[in-house]
Structure formats: C-alpha cells, structure tokens
Amino acid sequence: MYKVLYEGKSKVICEGPDKDSLVIRFKDSATAFNGEKKEEIPGKGRLNAAISNLIYSYLAKNGIETHVIEVIDDISLVVKKTEIVMVEIIVRNVAAGGFSKKYGIEEGSPLKNTTVEFSVKSDELGDPMINESQITAIGLATADELQEMTRQALKINKLLIDLFVKAGIRLIDFKLEFGRRNGRLILCDEISPDSCRLWEAGTDKKLDKDRFRRDLGNLAESYQYVLRRLQNV
C-alpha cells in the first residue's frame, strides 16, 4: 500500500513508486456545493477511474500529454508528479449550470462560440471565477501559460466532442486542470462525469454529476451507461 499524502473530496493522493510519481486512488464519495452535500455512492470511484482512463488514453493517442503513467487497478493509477496550476479551465459548448445562472441564459441554449473561462482552484474561496489579467497579476499563471492552456483546452474540446458524438452523448461543458513539469504544461486530474456535463443525444437526459447535485437519482447507473457507450465507440 502506498503512503497517503493527501485525501481530497473524490480522490486520495499517495506517494508513488518513485520520487517523480504519485498514486491517485478514486473514491466512491460524491460531493457538491464545495463539500456541503456529500454521499457515498458504491462503484462511483471505479466508474470514474475507468471513464477517465479511457478518455486520457484517447487524448494521449491524439497528441495531448497527460499525467497518466500506468493504471494499477480498477481505482488506482500512477501519475507524473507536477506542480499543479492553481487555475481551473472551464470550457462550455452549451449554456448550463453556473453559466446559465450567472447570465440568465436558459439551460441548453446553444452558444454562438465555445467559451473558455478560468476559476481559482481553492475550496476555501469556493473556486471564484477570475480573468486573465487578474491571474497574471497575482501570479497564479503567466500569460504564456494561459495561452497554452487555452490552446490545449480547445483542442481537447474538439477531440472530446468527436469521441462523445460517436457514443451518442452531447458534451455540454467540462473542467480541466494542468500541471507544470519540465517546462511544459500537462493535463492532470481527471475527465469524468464528475467534471463534465454530459447529456444523452436525442433525449438530453443528464448523465453526469448534476444527477447528484440536483437529486435526480441513478448516478452510478448513468456513469455506467457513459462507460458502456464509450467502450462501444
């Protein structure tokens, strides 16, 4: 067993097999509203790990450098150690969630262009939205880093839309995190129904963490459905 370094809301971070790596273990916990709402959902960790691993392997094949080194078991993987950029990148293709609420745009409204926005990665502050000049002013990232993360985020968006369309799923929005390693920015964290909004094509049934946030039920079943559809692409 690897030594636990830090326990987060949905993942445990452990020492890795060497000094340049870490082990990430997915948990069954579901949390929302900055940890105020919390529940254990048996099987969720395994489903998120499987979905994220499938997506990261697809992105790696398509030229995106990710932190994944090796999948150890159904909830654990070895990742490259990075210096995490304390900025979350949110990409939106369709209005939903925080965007709909903040700007009074009905959920599901198409957007004339894809949006990219940033928020501070801070549970304490509740991940507040932040603009580029504010990020560079307080030193969370440089202008070059923001440009590079935006470029990669838009490329990842195109690749993910292609993948999800084949799975019969609409990619509404998602959140990415990057880390610095050897002077490059690499994709970290996870991409799963916890960090994306995914709607079934044709019905717009929600297949993501909004099922938990909004008490819609059947979260594990929906994640299982997403995994099966991706495995069949």
Binding positions for ligand 5GP, rule: CB under 6 A: 88, 90, 97-99, 127, 173-175, 194-197, 209
Q: From the CB of 44, what's the least distance to ligand 5GP, in Å? A: 12
Q: From the CB of 198, what's the least distance to ligand 5GP, in Å? A: 8
**How many other β-carbons are positioned within 10 Å of the β-carbon of residue 11?**
21
Nearer to ligand 5GP, 17 or 128 (CB): 128
Nearer to ligand 5GP, 43 or 98 (CB): 98
Nearer to ligand 5GP, 173 or 186 (CB): 173
DSSP bridge pairs for 25: 12, 76
Q: From the CB of 97, what's the least distance to ligand 5GP, in Å? A: 3
Nearer to ligand 5GP, 27 or 209 (CB): 209
Residue with tokens 């509404």: 172
Q: From the CB of 20, what's the least distance to ligand 5GP, in Å? A: 25
Compute the distance between CA of residue 51 and CA of residue 47 in angstroms, rounded to an integer. 6
Q: From the CB of 41, what's the least distance to ligand 5GP, in Å? A: 14
Nearer to ligand 5GP, 106 or 182 (CB): 106
- Structure token pair of residue 212: 């938990």
Per-residue burial over 176-214, b = 16 or more CB atoms within 10 Å of its CB, e = otherwise: bbbbebeeebbbbbbbbbbbbbbbbeeeeebbbbbbbbe
Compute the distance between CA of residue 199 and CA of residue 208 in angstroms, rounded to an integer. 8
* DSSP secondary structure code for residue 170 in this structure: E
Nearer to ligand 5GP, 80 or 92 (CB): 92
Beta-carbon contacts of residue 217 (< 8 Å; ≥ 6 apart): 211
Q: From the CB of 134, what's the least distance to ligand 5GP, in Å? A: 17
CB 112 within 8 A of CB 105: no
